[in-house]
């Protein structure tokens, strides 16, 4: 089992995300074309505050999102720092098994420790990509991110959808951490097994690259082998599950 200090990850990745404001506040984000770095930082800071309130109060349904904030770079940076402190403090004070609403099967505060680490790390990568060459995401964070993304952004939204599969299997195989995931394409859904079994297509590389690729960031250092029609159907299913929103 991969051990990750998610609270430390939130703090570290938040610090790196904040630093991109000074490097290029108006740089566009490639994967959210209507957003700049300032928009991305404001979004992430809003999510931090939203989760901090949910965890602090043990909310059993999702509250309203916080309002948008002033985009002045200096004020935004200070506001973002305050939100980081709020979410880390709320998560640290809450038992990981405390019941809290989530969008996943795991309805505990422990889910939000992972989710906030994933959210912040992915958007740090997005912001660094906007200003130059982004640093890879920590392998342990990325591996747990793969599992989470498959559950809440692939399996759930594709339940009852027109996937059009016939049992084809796609393996996601990180090379720098143990384990793998095999996604099976069914007619009206997909299923996932945490296994290193046989597959029609294998997508391999660092955990960071495999996760980023799964989220639609077409990074170069992944290797794909196997049946091209299966790969095309898998990519169509990902687009169906999470169509572009920005």
Class of 6-135 per CATH? mainly alpha
Angle at 67 (CA atoms; ends 127, 62), nearest 5 degrees? 95
Name the token pair of 9: 């990850």
- Banded model confidence at residue 133, pLDDT cuts 50, 70, 90: confident
Closest CA to 186 of 214, 163, 157, 160: 163
191: part of which helix (H) or strand (E)?
strand 190-193
Residues 36-71 pLDDT 10s = 999 999 999 999 999 999 999 999 999 998 887 788
pLDDT digits (tens, 9 = 90+) for 73-126: 989 999 999 999 999 999 999 999 999 999 999 999 999 999 999 999 999 999
Query: What residue ranges do the domains of the chain occupy?
Result: 6-135, 141-241
Rg (CA), the chain: 18
The pair of three-digit structure tokens given for residue 33, joined into one six-digit string: 């074309």
Alpha helices per DSSP H over the chain: 6-23, 37-57, 73-93, 109-131, 139-149, 207-214, 228-241
Is there a common fold for 6-135 and 141-241?
no
Quick one: 141-241 is in which CATH superfamily? SCP2 sterol-binding domain (3.30.1050.10)
CA 203 from centroid of its chain's CA atoms: 18
Task: Give bridge partners of residue 29 from the DSSP assignment.
Answer: 32
């Amino acid at each position: 089992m991969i051990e990750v200090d998610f609270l430390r990850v939130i703090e570290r990745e938040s610090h790196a995300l904040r630093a991109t404001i000074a490097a290029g506040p108006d740089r566009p984000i490639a994967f959210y074309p209507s957003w700049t770095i300032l928009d991305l930082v404001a979004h992430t800071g809003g999510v931090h505050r939203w989760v901090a309130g949910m965890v602090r109060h043990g909310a059993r349904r999702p509250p309203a999102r916080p309002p948008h904030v002033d985009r002045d770079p200096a004020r935004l940076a200070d506001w973002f720092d305050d939100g980081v402190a709020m979410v880390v403090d709320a998560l640290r004070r809450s038992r990981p098994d405390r019941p809290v609403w989530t969008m996943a099967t795991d309805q505990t505060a422990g889910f939000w420790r992972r989710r906030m680490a994933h959210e912040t790390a992915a958007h740090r990568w997005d912001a660094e990509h906007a200003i130059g060459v982004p640093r890879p995401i920590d392998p342990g964070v990325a591996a747990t991110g793969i599992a989470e993304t498959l559950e809440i952004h692939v399996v759930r939204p594709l339940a009852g959808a027109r996937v059009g599969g016939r049992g084809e299997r796609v393996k996601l195989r990180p090379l720098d951490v143990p384990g793998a995931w095999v996604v099976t394409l069914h007619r009206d859904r997909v299923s996932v097994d945490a296994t290193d079994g046989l597959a029609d297509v294998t997508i391999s590389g660092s955990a960071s690259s495999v996760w980023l690729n799964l989220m639609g960031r077409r990074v170069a250092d992944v290797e794909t082998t196997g049946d091209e029609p299966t790969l095309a159907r898998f990519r169509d299913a990902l687009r169906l599950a999470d169509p572009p929103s920005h």
